Structure formats: structure tokens, C-alpha cells
Amino acid sequence: MIGSILTLTATSGIGFSVARSYRDRPKQIALLAQGLRLLRQEVEFAQVPLPLALSHVADLLPKPVNLLFRQMATNLEEQKNAGEAIDEAIVSFEKKLAMQKEDYEPLRTLGAVVATAHRTHLARELDTALIRLQSLEEIAETDRRKNEKVWQYLGVLVGVMIVIMMS
């Protein structure tokens, strides 16, 4: 009886965990895009230096995506160059967030140009990144609709099947 409960709990947990990552991914991409829109405002209107601009964005975003921006700002303050600061922040957060490798690509591309771009150029790069994030969000949303419920049920059903087979 205890074994059955443990099995059912474990498989359901796995199912819900995978379902949650499908559910969180589009939300986090949307938050990343919101962060870049805020960064665009800082660049265009306030002309605040990048470390401070990223800190301001981190202050305005909810968890956990704000932590990514905070880490980028910290890395820049430690005198890493912009590309390194963004790459290292992504590496330290990609396992903690639901976004997939390709979702960070617009941010990485931005990291390669942000330090040397002039205001108008950087605004264009931010717009391009936002368009790419929008399409990634749509893909993530389609995946969520297809897979979220499936994984929730699958976890429970596999657990039930194992319990039936064991009994």
C-alpha cells in the first residue's frame, strides 16, 4: 500500500514538473521580452549606463526572470565585458529557468553588440530581439497547449498503471 502511494506520488510529481516547465516557459519568455522593452526605455530616454539600466530592469520585473537581469548587472560591475557578462548570467540561470536554449539566443546576440552600438543601432537590435522573442513565445504557447495537460495526466496514469501491474 505504501509502495503504491509512493509510486503514484513520484510519477505524478514528474508529470506535474514537466507540465509546469511547459506552463512556465511562455510566461518567462514574455517576462524576458518585458525586460528588454524596459531596457529599451532606459537606453533611449534615460541613457543610463548598462549596469545601472539592467539593475533598474531587475527592480521592475518579477521573479525569477529579474534574477537573470540582476546577475548580468553584477557581472558587468565586476568589469566583465558585455558579451561575457550576459553569457555567464545565462549559463548560471538556464537550469533554474523553464526557458530553453534557443530562447536565450536573442539575448546572446544582443550581448555581442550592446557595448559598441550607438543609441539608434541598439534600439534596432532590441526591436529585433523582441520580434524573435515574440515568435519564440508563440511556439512555447503552442507547446504548452499541446503538452501541459498531457504530462499532468501521463504522470498520474503511468503511476496508476505501475500500481495495477504491481498488485
Partner 1 sequence: MNAGNSSEKVVDCLNVLRILCPPPLYQLFCQIPETVLQQLEEVRFRQHAPLQLCLAQEDCFLNERGKVVKDWREGLVVSEDWLQRMVQSATQSSLYAMEEDIKRGFLTLPGGHRLGIAGRAVLSETGSLRSIRNITSLALRIAKSHIGASRVLAPYISISKHRVPSLLLISPPQCGKTTLLRDLARACSQGEYQLPAQKVVVVDERSELAGIVEGMRTFDLGPRTDVLDGCPKAEGMMLAIRSLSPQVLVTDEIGRMEDGQAILEAAYAGVTVFATAHAASLEEWRMRPSMRPLFEQQAFSRYAVISRRRGPGTLEAVYDANGKTLIVPR
Piece in contact with partner 1 (CB under 8 A), picked from 24-32, 73-81, 99-107, 128-136: 73-81
Minimum CB–partner distance for residue 91 and partner 1 (Å): 18
Task: By CB under 8 A, tell whether 139 contacts partner 1.
Answer: no
Residue 153 near residue 15 (C-beta atoms within 8 A): yes
Distance CA 75, CA 32 (A): 18
Q: Is 50 in the site for partner 1 (CB under 8 A)?
A: yes
Binding residues among 94-123 for partner 1 as defined by CB under 8 A: 114-119, 122
The DSSP 8-state label assigned to residue 64 in this structure reads T
What are the CA-CA distances from residue 93 to residues 27, 72, 86 (Å)? 16, 11, 11
Q: Which residues bind partner 1 (CB under 8 A)?
A: 43, 47-51, 53, 76, 79, 81-82, 85, 114-119, 122
